[in-house]
Amino acid sequence: MPQDRVTVVDHPLAGHLLADLRDAGTEPERYRTLAERLTSVLVLEATRSLPTVTETVQTPITATEVTRIGRHVVAVPILRAGLGMLSAATDLLPDIGVGYVGLERNEETLQPTEYYYKAPSLDDASVLLLDPMLATGGSAAFAAKLLRDRGATDLTLVCIIAAPEGIERLTQSDPDIRIVTACVDEGLNDVGYIVPGLGDFGDRLFGTF
């Protein structure tokens, strides 16, 4: 695994939230809340190295130096499962731009098909690509190329679970991407699902069983 590109958020709260996401008994309503909370933890880590600018503000007591985020951030969820991660990003960073990439993985060939793209300018932005599951890596690699072709330079995939196969494929096709994840699982089964994983994230999020 290319250690320098991958950050596993090893935090008790991340493990705790992931436990209930993995649990097959968790219903969509609670699933959405858990996904949002866990994404908040991941976005905190993904934005740790954002540049800051220094300003002076007047507190009720005195003038003091403060820091603010010094770069525009754009979040790009991969439809549809990435939608479950978007509100966490917009809650933490209310003035971010939001783009969308619509991809669906063919269940037999495991190849992604694009059905939608719309995003604001990515020039000089830190781009957070949101997709909960990095399985074969086909979808994330496709989306990353799309965003690079449209000007993304600083690109981070925020995902909930990553398979080693997906990390390998994504970092081979895009050596500069960063991956922030709650867990690296064992691998893929023979139909391309992450093991132990949590099943089909989009279906569990939206109740499409």
- Contact 75/90 with Cβ under 8 angstroms? yes
CA gap 178, 173 in Å, rounded: 12
Q: Which of 80, 105, 169, 178 is catalytic?
A: 105
Q: In DSSP terms, which residues pair with 53 in a beta bridge?
A: 68
Size of the site for ligand PRP (CB under 6 A): 22
Closest distance to ligand PRP from the beta carbon of 60 (Å): 47
CA gap 72, 21 in Å, rounded: 31
Query: SS3 string of 148-181?
Result: HHCCCCEEEEEEEEECHHHHHHHHHHCCCCEEEE
Choices 38-46, 58-66, 92-100, 130-138; region in contact with ligand PRP by CB under 6 A: 130-138
Complex with ligand PRP: residue 131 or 154, whichever CB lies closer: 131
Complex with ligand URA: residue 153 or 208, whichever CB lies closer: 208
Task: Indicate if 105 belongs to the active site.
Answer: yes
| Amino acid identity, position 127 | V
- Contact 178/157 with Cβ under 8 angstroms? yes
Task: Indicate if 203 belongs to the active site.
Answer: yes
Locate 109 and state its tokens.
């060939």
Complex with ligand PRP: residue 95 or 108, whichever CB lies closer: 108
Task: Indicate if 26 belongs to the active site.
Answer: no
Task: Decide if residue 181 touches ligand PRP (CB under 6 A).
Answer: no
CA gap 58, 61 in Å, rounded: 7
Q: Which of 32, 37, 150, 200 is catalytic?
A: 200
| Residues 135-174, mask of contacts with ligand URA (x by CB under 6 A) | x---------------------------------------
- Residues at the interface with ligand PRP (CB under 6 A): 78, 80-81, 103-105, 110, 112, 131-140, 166, 192, 201-202
Q: Which residues are catalytic?
A: 105, 109, 200, 203
